[in-house]
Structure 1
């Protein structure tokens, strides 16, 4: 059955790979992007692209209204939109911290709450939050990002407990090093340092993360909720 799927931050990287995976499976996919023109990749995939800054509640409401008008109520939500503002703690401005938390945590709260309203009425739904191995391991220079991604675990498990009796699952995917624009800013030495701690010795392809997301949104995962699924090549084992 074709479902209405919404991927936030779906214009590139992991989000785009997730949108592609659902679209290729025959779902009706919508994705959000923050500024500029609709991403060409969305058009090529036949996805509905809507502008939405998840730090703005009015934009979140407008985006959901547009998606619902085109595809019906959201049945699968993938909360992927996120930012980084990497700084060492003693050099980190308070705004660096609060901006990351507002996008990566409060932004997730906004979209999950809005999607859950319809899911609860329908008594079914799949919510998948994109966290990070960094949220479990910590990383120098990423106290804000790590805090935001760790927060998603507690948030997801609380949502899972609240909505489980209504047939709604909420799970977390925690990628490690993934070959995206976000990780391309690392120089060769930084990249080698991370990969040296990964048992599989390589970064993930975005499609590998997308496969984990699709699994958690599938009927095969109907009895999985409140889980954290690492896609990190073993980097975060034991956390």
Structure 2
């Protein structure tokens, strides 16, 4: 028997956060693998589906439209995320706390929940949640972001357990430092300091992260669910 393909050819995929560096790379990688992709992002972006993931009604409406346009849906990549406020925990207002949590965690849940029926009907549903090493590293100033990304890990494992009987697999990708425009805009000394903490000595590329997502949507990953795949150049080794 030949090995299972590592390409997610022919899948129908909803991708959130599709207009940013990581999201755009995911959309391009899936498109090159002959997937049909519904690219979603916030209002004001150039994404075909633009809505606020914190707005549950808007999520339901746009996910339904995306599923209709795709002729079904067998995959969701929940990538929408922000780091809106950075300062010490005791200074966070309720609104600041809520914004990161509602965008990163609530938004991911609303999207995958809205796609549940279609994922189950496909017979081979896949969910990939894009978390962050920020879920584990405890970066000062990022209490809301860290909590939201840690919540995605717990959510992903629970969905994997609950939805397996519907043929839906759910996995979490945990990026480290990825060379997005935001990361590359950091001061040179900050970038150099970050690289010294990465065993591979460099930032990852958006294409490398997109490759991990593509793999988890491929036939080769059919027996993988409930896992956390770190794409961090070994940065997470320092946390374990």
1:69, distance to aligned residue in structure 2 (A) = 2.3
1:45 aligned residue: none
Map of 1:4 onto structure 2:
12
Q: Give the whole-Å Cα distance in 2 for the aligned partners of 1:205 and 1:181.
A: 11
Give the match for residue 51 of structure 1: 50
How far residue 37 of structure 1 moved from its aligned partner, in angstroms, is 5.2
Q: How far apart in 2 are the matches of 1:196 and 1:90?
A: 30
What is the CA distance between 1:185 and its match in structure 2? 4.4
Report the equivalent of 1:35.
43
Structure 1 residue 60 displacement after superposition: 0.7
Question: Can you list the C-alpha shifts for 1:180-208, whole angstroms capped at 9, x where unaligned?
Answer: 13324422222222211100111011000
Question: How has the CA–CA distance of structure 1 residues 89 and 185 changed in structure 2, closer, same or farther, with 3 Å as cutoff?
Answer: farther
Task: Give the gaps of 5 or more residues in structure 1.
Answer: 40-48
Q: 1:190-237, CA deviations, whole angstroms, 9 ceiling, x for partnerless residues?
A: 222221110011101100000000001111000000000000000012
TM-score by length of 2: 0.91
| Aligned twin of 1:105 | 105
Aligned to 2:3: none
- Map 1:1-239 → 2, pairs under 5 A: 2-36=10-44, 38-39=46-47, 49-84=48-83, 85-237=85-237, 239=240
TM-score (norm 1): 0.91
SS, match of residue 87 in structure 2: coil
**Following the alignment from structure 1 to structure 2, what is the Cα–Cα distance between the partners of residues 76 and 120?**
10
- Tell me how far 1:116 sits from its aligned partner: 1.4
**d(CA) in 1 for partners of 2:187 and 2:129?**
28
What is the RMSD of the two structures over their aligned residues, measured on CA atoms?
1.4
Segments ≥4 residues shifted beyond 4 Å = none
Q: How far off is 1:167 after superposition?
A: 1.3
